[in-house]
Structure 1
Amino acid sequence: MLPFIRSDLAQFTAYKPHPSSNTSEPVATQFDRLDTNESPYDLPPELKEKLAWTYQQVIESNRYPDGGHQQLKETIAEYVNDSANLSQPLFTAANISVGNGSDELIRSLLIATCLGGEGSILVANPTFSMYGILAQTLGIPVVTVGRDKTNFAIDLQAAQSAIANTQNPPIRVVFVVHPNSPTANKLTAAELTWLRSLSEQILVVIDEAYFEFSQDTLVAELAQRPNWIILRTFSKAFRLAALRVGYAVAHPEAIAILEKVRLPYNLPSFSLAAAQIALQNRQLLLSTIELTLNERDQLITALSQHPALQITQSAANFLYLRLQPNTFDSPDTILKILHQKLTSSGTLVRLLKEGLRITVGTPAENLRTLERLKAAIASLKS
C-alpha cells in the first residue's frame, strides 16, 4: 500500500463489471452479454445518423458542454410529468439534476449528506452494490439489514432498529430500489408505509432505474415529501448505457444542493445531445419494452419448470435465479460452477452470493441461455 493512501482503501476491491480478459477459462469470442441489465437493442440507425449529424454540424469539440443542462432538464421534466400520468404537471427544470450516470448522483448525495462524519447510510442486501461501494470510498459507514428469503421484502423491524440505535454518526440516508436489483421485486405496501413514516431528518433515495419496465413510479409523492429523491437513468430502456446519463427528481431545494456538489461540465455535449434525442423519440425507443417483458415471462415460465431452480416474478428486465433448497450439497460452489460454464459457453450473467442475475436479452440470446443453463445443470448431475 502506498504510504500516502488512506489505510481503509486496502480493504476494497475495484468494481469489475465484465470478466477479466486474462481469465484462464476458455471463453467464446462473442458473448451474449446478459450481466449488466442493459437493453439488448442498440439505437436505431436513423437515430445514430441524427446523432452523427449533431456531432458534425452542431457540437463544437473545442467548447465546453452546456454546464447548466437547462434544455435537457426541461425535456426530462416534461417526460416525468407525462410518464406519471399526472392530472397537473408537477415538475419543472428546477426539480431535475443530471449526472454522469446515476452513480455520480449517488456520490453527490453522499457528499451532500454524510461526508465529514455527519451520517451513515442504510441498505437492505441484496441490492445495488454501488450504494455501499461509493459510501465506503468516501469513508461513510454502511449499515446493512436483510431481506425476506421468499419475497425479498426488507426486514423492516431490523431497519427501524438500525435507525434507532445507530449513532455517531446517525443514519442520514436510506437507499431503496423500485424494483430492486438483483431480486426484481417492487416495494411492498408495508415498505412504502415505512418509508413514508421516516423522519424528515433522513433522506430517502428511491432508485427507479427500471421504471420503464415496471411502470410503477413514486414521483407523484415528491411534492409532499421534500426528504425523498428519485433517481432514474437513460442506461436501460433508453439504450444509452455507453453515454452515461442519469437524473434525479426532487424538491427544488434538494436539487439546488446537488447542483452545488456536482462537478462542472459533468456531461459531454454528445451525451447531452443523445439524451435529448432519446426523449424526443421515446415512443420509438420504448417500443421494445413489450417484447422484453414477453421474453421475460417466457424465461420465467421455462426456468420455473426445472426442479433444481428457484425463480420469482420480476418487475424489471432481468431475473433472479436461485437453486432450490437442499438440491445440492454446496449451493455456493454450484452457483460458481454454473456461472463458469455459462461464461465458457458464451453467456455472461451476474454471479451473486445466493443466485444468478440474468438480463433479458433478444429472443435468440434467451433461447441460447436456456439451452446452455440446462446443459450446465445436466452436467452437474452426470
Structure 2
Amino acid sequence: MTAGKFDLSNIVRPKIYNLEPYRCARDDFTEGILLDANENAHGPSITISTGFEDLHRYPDPHQVKFKSLMAQFRNKNSKLSVEPLLTSDNLCLGVGSDESVDALIRACCIPGKQKILINPPTYGMYSICAAINDVGVVKIPLTYEDNTFQLNVEKILDTLRSDQDIKLVFITSPGNPTGQYINLADIERICSSWLNGIVVVDEAYIDFGGESASPLVNKYPNLAVFQTVSKSFGLAGIRIGITFASKELSSVLNAMKAPYNISTMASQLGVNALSDKSIQIMQENATKINKEKFRVLKELTSLDCVEDQQISGLDANFIMIRMKNRDIAKQVYLNLATKAKVVVRYRGTELGCAGGLRITIGTKEENDRLIKELKNITDQLLK
C-alpha cells in the first residue's frame, strides 16, 4: 500500500487541478485612483461608525498577512521537528471550516462515483457536504466501546485497500462531540500507508489540548489540516476557516475559492487576533477554560444522576456527561433550555453517546448556574 509516490494530479479532479484562478482587479493594483473594479467611490451608505474606512472597496483576495502570521504562530508553538516550516503558501482561507470541507470534497470526489470516509461519532457537516455533492460516505466507527474514541486504524487501512473510490478521510482531533485528541502517530501511519487520497484532520479545538498536525503538511503531501478562529480565539462571528496543506494542494484550493471570500472586517480582526498581545489573551482564556472544565466535570459527576466517568476526552472546550438514566437525558436538555434558559447539546443519538449531554465550558458564573439548574431539573424529573 505504500508503494509508489503520492501524485496529487491523480487525486484532484482534472478540471480542478488545471483550473486557472479567477484574476480580479485587486490582483493587479491596490493603490491610486481605483477605477477598475466598479466600486462606489462615494463610500458605504450606512449611518453608523464601523471603524473600517474602506468598506466601499473590495477586500484583499489573498490575505497574505493573516496567512503569514498564522503560519508563524503554528511554527512557533509546534514541538514537531518538520522542515520546511509553514509559510503563507501552505494556507487557504474559507468562510468557516465548512467551506473548506466542501471545497476538498468538490476538488477530489467525482459526484455519483467516489466517496469519503468518516469516523462516527463525528462532526455532521462532512456527511451533509458529501450528500450535497452526491458523494458516498463510508463509516468506520471510533473505538467507543472502551470509551477511548480513538481511530480503528487497521479497519480504516483495510477499507482503504479494498475501496479505491474513497478519496478523503476526515478525522476530527480533538473530536466533536467526543472532545478526544486523536493519537498523532495513528494519523501519520494512515498518511504514510495510503497514497490514493487526502487525509483531512479537523483541528477546530486544538488550542485546548494536543499537538497540532499542521506542520506535517510539509512532510505528508496527502495531509490537509483544518483550523478556525472560532473557538480558542473567540471569533466565531467573523467566519474564518483555515486549511493547511502542501503548497501544491493549497494552490489548487486557492484557485477554487471565490475571489473575495474573506471580508475586510474579518481580515483585519483576524490579523489583530494574531498579534502577540492577542495570542497571549487567547492562551490565557484557554487556560481558564481548561481549569473550569475539570471543576465543572467534578461537580457534575458527583451528582447522583450523572455517571462518574465522562464520555471520552477532555481535550476541547467542552465536556460530555452521561445521565445514569438514559431515558431522561433529552428531557433534561429540553428543560434546561426552556425552563432554566441554560442551553447545552443533547448527543444521546450519536454512536457510543447514549444519555449524553455535551456542555460547553462558559464563564465561572455561567458554569455555576448550569450546575445548579441541572441538579434542580434532574431532582424534579426523578421524583
Shorter-chain-normalised TM-score: which range? 0.7 to 0.9
Deviation of 1:318 (Å): 0.3
Output the amino acid matched with 2:378: I
Compute the TM-score of the two structures, normalised by the length of structure 2: 0.79
Does residue 295 of structure 2 align to residue 298 of structure 1? yes
Q: Select which of 183, 187, 199 maps to 1:188.
A: 183
Alignment correspondent of 1:69: 63
Contact 2:301–2:321 (Cα < 8 Å) also in 1 = no
* 1:96 paired residue number: 91
Change (3 A) 1:228 1:359: same
Count of residues paired in the alignment: 321
CA offset at residue 245 of structure 1?
Answer: 0.6
Rounded Cα–Cα distance in structure 2 between residues aligned with 1:356 and 1:191: 28
Asked if 1:163 corresponds to 2:160, the answer is yes
The residue that corresponds to 1:376 in the other structure is 377
Q: CA deviation at 1:285?
A: 3.1
1:326-378 per-position Cα deviation (integer Å, ceiling 9, x unaligned): xx3xx2x4221111111121111111213211100000111111111112221
Percent identity at matched positions? Answer: 29
**What code does the residue aligned with 2:333 have?**
H
1:367–1:119: structure 2 CA closer, same or farther, 3 Å change rule? same
Q: Could you tell me which residue of structure 1 aligns to residue 317 of structure 2? A: 317
For 1:135, the equivalent position in structure 2 comes to 130
Q: Which amino acid aligns with 2:314?
A: S
Following superposition, the deviation at residue 241 of structure 1 comes to 0.4
The answer for the alignment partner of 1:79 in structure 2 is: 73
Candidates 261, 286, 291, aligned match of 1:289: 286
Structure 1 residue 113 displacement after superposition: 0.6
Distance (Å, rounded) in 1 between the aligned partners of 2:245 and 2:56: 33
| Range 360-369 or range 189-198, more displaced | 189-198
In the TM superposition, residue 117 of structure 1 has moved relative to its aligned partner by: 3.9
Q: Which moved more, 1:127-136 or 1:299-308?
A: 299-308
2:11 match: none
Distance 1:72 1:220, change over 3 A: closer
Secondary structure of 1:195 counterpart: helix
Residue in structure 2 matched with residue 40 of structure 1 by the alignment: none
Equivalent residue, structure 1, for 2:23 = none
Match of 2:21 in 1: none
CA RMSD of aligned residues (A): 2.1
Question: Residues 59 and 270 of structure 1 are in contact (CA less than 8 Å); yes or no, is this contact kept in structure 2?
Answer: no
Which secondary structure state, in structure 2, belongs to the residue aligned with residue 290 of structure 1?
A: helix
Q: Which has the higher helix share?
A: 1
SS at match of 1:348: coil
One-letter amino acid matched to 1:82? K
Q: Is the 8 A contact 1:81 1:89 kept in 2?
A: no
CA distance in 1, matches of 2:184, 2:245: 22
Contact 1:207 1:231 in 2 (8 A): yes
Q: Give the 3-state SS of the residue equivalent to 2:282 in structure 1.
A: helix
Q: Distance in 2 between matches of 1:89 and 1:221?
A: 10
1:159 to partner: Cα distance: 2.7
Distance 1:81 1:286, change over 3 A: same
The residue aligned with 2:121 is 126
Q: Which residue of 1 aligns with 2:368?
A: 367
**Matches for 1:199-348 after TM superposition, within 5 Å:** 199-280=194-275, 281-310=278-307, 311-312=310-311, 313-324=313-324, 328=325, 331=326, 333-344=327-338, 345-348=340-343
User: What residue number does 1:28 align with?
Assistant: none
What TM-score results when the alignment is normalised by the length of structure 1?
Answer: 0.79
Instruction: Work out which structure has the larger RCO, using CA pairs closer than 8 Å and 6 or more positions apart in sequence.
Output: 1
Choose from 173, 176, 200 the match for 2:168.
Answer: 173
| Structure 2 equivalent of residue 41 of structure 1 | none
Q: Distance in 2 between matches of 1:91 and 1:197?
A: 20
| Amino acid aligned to 2:259 | P
Letter in 2 for 1:130: M
- Of 86, 95, 104, 1:109 maps to 104
Deviations 1:7-61 (A, max 9, x none): xxxxxxxxxxxxxxxxxxxxxxxxxxxxxxxxxxxxxxxxxxxxx99x53x5412
C-alpha distance in 2, partners of 1:267/1:274? 11
Alpha-carbon distance change, 284 to 259 in structure 1, aligned in 2, over 3 angstroms: same
Q: Using the alignment, how far apart are the partners of 2:108 and 2:342 within structure 1?
A: 40
**SS of alignment partner, residue 216 of structure 1:** coil
Distance 1:285 1:189 in 2: 24
**Partner amino acid for 2:377?**
A
Task: State the Cα distance separating 1:223 from its structure 2 match.
Answer: 2.0
**Structure 1 CA distance, aligned partners of 2:185 and 2:58?**
47
Contact 2:74 2:215 in 1 (8 A): no
Aligned to 2:346: 351
Cα distance in 2, alignment partners of residues 378 and 159 from structure 1: 43
Contact 1:178–1:210 (8 Å) recurs in 2: yes
Unaligned runs of 5+ in 2: 1-47
Rg comparison, structure with higher value: 2
The residue type equivalent to 1:112 in the other structure is: A
